[in-house]
Structure 1
């Protein structure tokens, strides 16, 4: 890639498992940025208003009061990894100032190898929890590696805060594909994000706004629409429990499948 940042005009899918099924697929726009780089097309900005923007306060640490890259580096040091060769942030950009991200990903590379991912999850109740995903000794993560973590934060009000997440990551020069499975007995959800990487341009930003008007405002609207559909199907609503005390939790195990 000769330009920076990247624009991933991809898709996300969700499939609910259990006695009440529900599935959907939507187009979505993510950007992949170097947190220390401020370059980009005129319609994209860092830490200021624009059609597309990424703000440090939205990532890394307390929700709404994030500090960006320094937080990610602190989490990695605490896990035993000194400053790696490269850290990038995969996230939905703010659109005309509005921001909501169900999940963003800090991608940690040593050379060409992906060695760690911090999955920064947010719910619609104002909570945040991050899952630090890596293999023993921060070995390179391949698409065949499944990294498992205990679910600790309330995400969907129609799922219990129990069970495990199973993460799979494919990150290469051309494409990003992420799969997250929540498994809780015969209940759960499979969610995916995938798309091709391309340099962000003013044209790609404008095309995104034409294809998917209002960006992340559209995302939150679709979340509530799917919640209404589940309620009408008879899904049981779970009130929000207290959020986890820990800001970040590490993977509990890893397996090659």
Structure 2
């Protein structure tokens, strides 16, 4: 493995969304994502850095002291102390200076390697970001009330049920939104782990050129299709004054 990629992994992914609220609509998109240790982020050499870059500003918790300090401060506000435990982050890297992360996931461990909590960070196409701190309920499921505007075709309402097992050989994520007692939307991200390094990055970049821009454009294209189908739109809430870290607190629920 190339030295710059030590401790990181790439996942060749397929993203699927199935919407059943008011109008059935589905989309499928292929991309690739990175799994990185936030204390050992890849430093990609030039010119490969055009294909994979990592910046503090790409993540909501990042502060001048670094991503780890920002995440620890966020977790401390929630009463969580990892005591230096490992944190793995699933995310897109910058490609040609551009990045869009619909969903980034942090798996947060204690010093013994036990999973303490999961943080799911959602970005919308309007430049907004929001984090959900997740802990398993009595049935081992992760739940959170929806509290962030993502799509103009769905209200800021309902409840998420998430399946976020820590990636190994396979990546298998499911996010379901329940609205008015019915399944409104189900999103899945399934992927296969690849050996991170120069050859893999070049191959995946050729397979999915400008991958993060493609994700953003695909979301907008499907938004146009929903608009043409005549779905009602929900107005975007007026943004509140920015704080250091906008987040939503969730706890164990039975």
TM-score by length of 1: 0.85
Partner Cα distance (1:211, 1:39) in 2: 21
Query: 2:173 corresponds to which residue?
Result: 178
Contact 1:129 1:244 in 2 (8 A): no
- For residues 165-194 of structure 1, the C-alpha deviation after alignment (integer angstroms, 9 at most, x for no partner) is 111111143222211111111362111112
Q: 1:96 to 1:5 in 2, by over 3 A?
A: same
Contact 2:36 2:42 in 1 (8 A): no
Q: Answer yes or no: is 1:250 the counterpart of 2:249.
A: yes
SS at match of 2:71: helix
SS at match of 1:97: coil
1:155 to 150, 154, 160: 150
Query: 1:190 corresponds to which residue?
Result: 186
TM-score by length of 2: 0.86
Query: 2:119 corresponds to which residue?
Result: 118
Q: Answer yes or no: is 1:240 the counterpart of 2:236.
A: yes
Number of aligned pairs?
245
1:250 is displaced (CA, Å) by: 2.0
Partner Cα distance (1:105, 1:127) in 2: 16
Query: 2:202 corresponds to which residue?
Result: 206
Q: 1:178 to 1:128 in 2, by over 3 A?
A: same
- For residues 76-110 of structure 1, the C-alpha deviation after alignment (integer angstroms, 9 at most, x for no partner) is 22222212521121101111111111111111123
Query: 1:36 corresponds to which residue?
Result: 39
Contact 1:40 1:200 in 2 (8 A): no
Query: 1:15 corresponds to which residue?
Result: 18
SS at match of 2:108: strand
The answer to which structure has the higher strand fraction is 1
Query: 2:135 corresponds to which residue?
Result: 134
1:121 is displaced (CA, Å) by: 0.8
- For residues 15-71 of structure 1, the C-alpha deviation after alignment (integer angstroms, 9 at most, x for no partner) is 1022201012211211011122144664797xxx53111111111338x99952212
1:3 is displaced (CA, Å) by: 3.8
Partner Cα distance (1:3, 1:183) in 2: 39
Query: 2:53 corresponds to which residue?
Result: 53
Contact 1:146 1:166 in 2 (8 A): yes
Q: What are the residue-to-residue correspondences of 1:45-124 with 2, within 5 Å?
A: 49-61=49-61, 67-84=66-83, 85-110=85-110, 111-124=112-125
Partner Cα distance (1:108, 1:150) in 2: 21
Q: Give the aligned CA root-mean-square deviation in angstroms.
A: 2.7
Contact 1:59 1:67 in 2 (8 A): no
SS at match of 2:202: helix
Gaps of 5+ in 2: none
Q: 1:214 to 1:41 in 2, by over 3 A?
A: same
